[in-house]
Structures are given as structure tokens and as C-alpha cells.
Structure 1
Amino acid sequence: MTWTSRCPDHIARAQTSLPALGIALVLLTVVTGLGIAMADTAIAGADRTPDERRAAAAIADRLVSADGPLAARSNVLNRSRVDDFDQSALERSAPPATEYAVSVELAETEIVRTGAVHSGTRITRLVVVEAREPRTLTPDLTTTDTVTLPRRSAQATVTINPPAGTTVWTVRANDRVVLHNRSGLDGSYEVSLVPYETTELRFQRAGPVQPGNVTIGYDAPRSTKESLVVTVDA
């Protein structure tokens, strides 16, 4: 008689399940490890985001403040100051920039950077960027004694070259006397203006003045609305 050895069915099934169980344990270990790593990353990101946001907001507020390194006045940036702005000026005027990697963009163009900024937290401020273009005005004073300059002109150069027999002795800017010489004005003079109002220059004279006897040089303002973006990467 021949005897055949046979394992019970439940033992065979258990032996067959062992490799699958091992694979499942490996997968569980990997998934758990990834979960812990992602949780650690999320916690680290959550920890640093408030610091990034505070630093970015502080730097942005400093840059657009009336006494900031870029501003002509509150939320109005001077184009010349923007062009001259560099890393040392940023760190000097906004101390958080010495502790974090910072990028400052204006109109989608980076104007300064400190350190390597890969992502980080972004703060946006809407600003007006003001540039000044030099212009020269040659008024026709044959039939009038006044000429009007645009608003936000802070200074003008008035050049007076009167013809023989004509004397110009006073120049007023609105109600203010800005130039006066009873014996006559002759030459170029720097005149301070009030930038928040339209300025009317009035010439007090005796005798005719031809076009070209008086010229006025001034900086005409040109303004554009842009976005200032400060990114801080801790």
C-alpha cells in the first residue's frame, strides 16, 4: 500500500499567503514613512509660513511708506530711486532682509534679491511709479504775462533774456513772489514750486517781450500703476 503525504488545505493557504503578507508589510512601511515625511514637511512649512509672511509684509510696507527708500510719497515710488536700488540699500532700509532670502519685483521685473529665493511667501502692494521727464517751455508773452505749468512740478529753471529797452523785475508763482529785482532780472534762476498744485507763473515787466526772451525748464511727471511684489523664502 502506498501512502501519499498531503498538507491540510488551511496550512497550504497560509504558506501561499506569506509572500503577499511580506509585500504588504513592505508597502505599509513605505507608505508610513512617506506619510511621516510629508507630515514633517507640512509642519515645517506651517511653522515657517507665519514668519515669512510677517517679514514679507514688513518689507513691503517699508518700501511703500512715505519715508521709505523708494517713495516720493506714500505708495508712490520714484523711478530714479527704483533704478538705483540694490541689495545693500534693501538690507539697510529693511532689516528683515538681512535674515531671510528676499526678492523684490516691480511690474514683474526683479529689481533686487538677497539670497536664493525658490518659492516662499509673496506679498503684493499696488503702487504708482512716478518718473520725471525734462521739458523746456518757450511761452509767447507778447499778449499775456502768464504761463501755466503742470501739477507736481517741484522746481523750474526760469531763464530771462530781455531785449533792449525791456525790464522784467518780478516773477510770481501763483500768489508767491519767487524772483524779484527792481533793476531787472537777467539770467537763469532756480525756482521752487509747490508740487501739489498747478502753478501759474506771472511776469511783471515794462516793455515788449518776444518769444525766446523767456524759457522755462521743468521736470514733467509721468505716472504708471504697477504691482510691487516682495517674496520671502525662509
Structure 2
Amino acid sequence: MTERCCVPANSLRAQTSLAALGIALVLLTVVTSLGIAIADTAIAGADRTPDERRVAAATADQLVAADGPLAARSNVLNQSRVDNFDRAALERSAPPASEYAVSVELADEEIARSGTVQGGTRISRLVVVEARERRTLTPDLTTTDAVTLPRRSAQATVTIDPPAGTTVWTVRANDRVVLHNRSGLHGSYEVPLVPYETTELRFQRAGRLEPGNVTIGYDAPRSTKETLVVTVDA
């Protein structure tokens, strides 16, 4: 009859405990390593975020400032300047852009970038974008001596071609004399306007003016509200 070898129960329990302890140590090592990695990432991110926010805020403030590279006046951007803005202009106006990855977006469209931006900190500013459209006005001066131009027009081109027997010798913009020639005005003249007020051009004349004897070209403003976003990725 064959004899059986029996392993004591306490020995089996000891082996099982050793195996469980080994697995627990492995899991603890993995969890600890992950925890350290996450903590390092969080610390690095915490160290980087203040610099990103500072640079992003300073760049955004510079771009919307009255003397900034994009602005017609404070928080009002000139569309022509926006169209010509690029990386070189960004780095000239915001020197940190040569050290950090910086992206500038307007109305959800990137207009300039330095470096590769994969994440980073975003700073937004509400702005007005102002574009100008050239318009020509042919006033009917048969029954009046004046024509009114809209606000925010900074300059007008006044062309005077009077018929025979008619003389136009003075043009006033509101209370200012902007053109004067006692012997008569004839040709095209650049007239500066005050952009913050409605301008009435008044023609002092002798004789009759028909439609087409006077034409006025001016830049009419068109404004839209948009969001400027500066993203800095350190």
C-alpha cells in the first residue's frame, strides 16, 4: 500500500501569504510610480501655468492697446492691420513670442503663430474689428447747399466740376472752412474730417449745380464684435 505525503495546512497558508504579499508589493510599486509621475507632471504644470498666463495676458493687452500693432484705438482693431499681421509682427510687438509658442486667433481663425502650440493657457479679449469700404456719393445740390457724411469718416475726396456760369469758392465741414478759392474751386481735393462726429459739407457758390457736378468719395466704417484669443504653450 502506497503511503501519502501530506503537506501541513499551516505550510500551505504560508505559501499563499507569500504569493499574495509579492503581488501586493508589485502593485504598490506600480501605484507609487504612477503617483510620483502624476505628481511630477502636476508640479511641472503648476510651475508652467503662471508664466503662460502672464505672457498670454501681457500679449493680449498689447495687441488691443491703443498703441498696439492691431488697434485703431483701444480695443478696436483695424482690419487692414489684422490682414498684415504675421509671426514677425507678433514677435516684434510681443518679445516673449520668440521664447514661447504663441498663437493669436481672431473670430476663431489663427492670424499669427510662433512655435508649436499643443495646449497651453488661453486668454480672451472682446474687441471690435473695424473695416473701411470706399463709397462715392453724388449729392443733388439743385435745391440745397449741403450734404451730410456719416460718423467715423476721417477723410473725403471732394471733386468739383461746376458748369459754365457757376462758381464754387468755399467748402465748409461743419463750422470749419476746408476749401477756399475766391476765383473758384475746380478739381479733386482731399478734405480731412473729424471722425468722431457727423460731418455736414456745405458748398458756398454762385450759380446752379446739377447732379454730377460734385462727387464725394469717403471711407465708410463697418464694425463687427469679435473675440481675440492668445494661447501660450511653454
Shorter-chain TM-score range: over 0.9
* Counterpart-to-counterpart distance in 1, 2:3 and 2:212: 130
Q: CA shift at 1:80, angstroms? A: 0.4
In structure 2, what is the equivalent of residue 95 of structure 1? 95
When normalised by structure 2's length, the TM-score is: 0.97
CA deviations over 1:74-111 (Å, ceiling 9, x no partner)? 00000000000010001001111111100000000000
SS in 1 for 2:118: coil
- 1:167 aligned onto 2:160: no
CA deviations 1:208-232 (Å, max 9, x no partner) are: 0000000000000000000000000
Q: Match of 1:81, as an amino acid?
A: R
- Aligned AA for 1:142? T
SS at match of 1:142: coil
| Aligned residues with identical type, % of pairs | 84
- SS for the counterpart of 1:144 is coil
Residue in 1 aligned with 2:192?
Answer: 192
The residue type paired with residue 231 of structure 1 is T
Question: Structure 1 residues 129-138 or 87-96, which shifts more?
Answer: 87-96
Work out the CA distance in 1 between the residues paired with 2:111 and 2:157.
32
What is the aligned length?
A: 234
Residue in 2 aligned with 1:48?
48
User: What's 2:143 paired with?
Assistant: 143
Q: Flag structure 1 segments of 5+ consecutive residues without an equivalent.
A: none
What does 1:1-234 correspond to in 2, within 5 Å?
5-234=5-234
Shift of 1:8: 3.1
Return the letter of the residue paired with 1:36: I
Question: CA offsets per residue over residues 104-146 of structure 1, 9 Å max, x none?
Answer: 0000000011000000000000000000000000000000000
For 1:175, the aligned partner's letter is D
